[in-house]
Amino acid sequence: MQVQRLNGPGAGVLKYDLLTALTTAGLNGPPSLQTTVMRLIALMTARYNWQADELCVGQREMARMWSVNERTVKREIKRLTEAGLLVCKRVGVRGRVGAYRLDQQAVVRLSEGCWPLVGPDFEARMRERYAPIRSNVVKLKPDPEPDVTPAPEQGTWPRVMAILAATSPDVAGAWFARIDFVGFERGVLRLRAPTGFIRRYVETHLLGTLLGAVEAEMGPVARVEFIE
């Protein structure tokens, strides 16, 4: 995906489109995502330095803006960086405020499924501006030899969910619980998501966590396929 310049001619439209994409993705996600995106947008509109392409705000100021404590700020920034929406440019140490930049590619991946909800003009503009859309198939490594991995019983899937619920209860309830198990055979894990938005979010941000639990119960995974 070609990263767009956030300053210069046409930058105003780009900024509004990125914020629109973020807002719509948040509104169509679970409550935890809505809160995270709302907090990010507050920072972007109030404190983002578009010329330098960076966000440089102290935790105390963030806490005051969000009406939370600094511990919550730390958790939220960690969530945003783990999701890839914010990329650390400079670590804050010894009283120095850290700096972050907005990752346009992460915004595109998160919000792509919601573009049609804004309107056909917005969707066409975003598709023209950014890279081709991701495939439904996530390739992890070469396919295993036939008959290497036997197909487990479907009863194994609840144990996978139990692992995820124990390690990340909020994430499991908001995202993994909405994914249906279709089958697992010869290293190919087949799942079904209720919406393209949920599928893309899991593929982009949560696939590693999911695969860790799946491989602990079912064995090596060579490929993940989301069935329509």
Q: Please tell me the total number of residues recorded for the chain in this structure.
A: 228
CA distance 134 to 7: 27
Domain assignment present for 171: yes
Same domain, 116 and 150: no
Average model confidence (pLDDT) for the chain?
81
User: At which of 129, 152, 181 does a domain end?
Assistant: 129
pLDDT tens per residue across span 19-72: 999 999 888 877 778 888 999 999 999 999 988 889 999 999 999 999 999 999
User: How many CB atoms neighbour CB 83 within 10 A?
Assistant: 19
Q: How far apart are CA 85 and CA 103, in angstroms?
A: 5
- In percent, how much of the chain has pLDDT > 70? 82
Please say which residue of 99, 129, 159 terminates a domain: 129
Band the pLDDT of 111: cuts 50, 70, 90.
Answer: confident
Q: Are residues 193 and 123 in the same domain?
A: no
Is the pLDDT at 171 greater than 90, yes or no? Answer: no
CATH number for the domain including 177?
Answer: 3.30.300.180
In a domain, 4, yes or no: no
**3 is a domain residue:** no
Residues 41 and 78 in one domain: yes
89 pLDDT more than 50 = yes
Residue 151 binned pLDDT confidence (cut-offs 50, 70, 90): very low
Residue 1 counted as domain residue: no
Residues 78 and 181 in one domain: no
The residues, ordered by sequence, that sit 6+ positions from 70 with a Cβ below 8 Å of its Cβ are: 59, 60, 62, 63
> Are residues 119 and 153 part of one domain?
no
- What's the pLDDT tens digit per position in 50-61? 888 899 999 999
State the average pLDDT over residues 115-119.
Answer: 89
Instruction: Assess if residue 2 is contained within a domain.
Output: no
Pair (121, 162) in one structural domain:
no
Q: Give CB contacts under 8 A, 24+ apart, made by 210-213.
A: 210/164, 210/176, 210/179, 211/140, 213/160, 213/161, 213/163, 213/164, 213/167
Judgement on whether residues 108 and 124 belong to the same structural domain of the protein: yes
Distance CA(51)–CA(6), nearest Å, equals 7
Residue 144 lies in a domain: yes
**Across the chain, how many H-helices and E-strands are there?**
11, 8
Same-domain check for residues 27 and 55: yes
Range of the domain at 185: 137-226
Question: Residues 180, 120: one domain?
Answer: no
Q: How far apart are CA 126 and CA 221, in angstroms?
A: 33
Say if residue 101 is in the same domain as residue 158: no
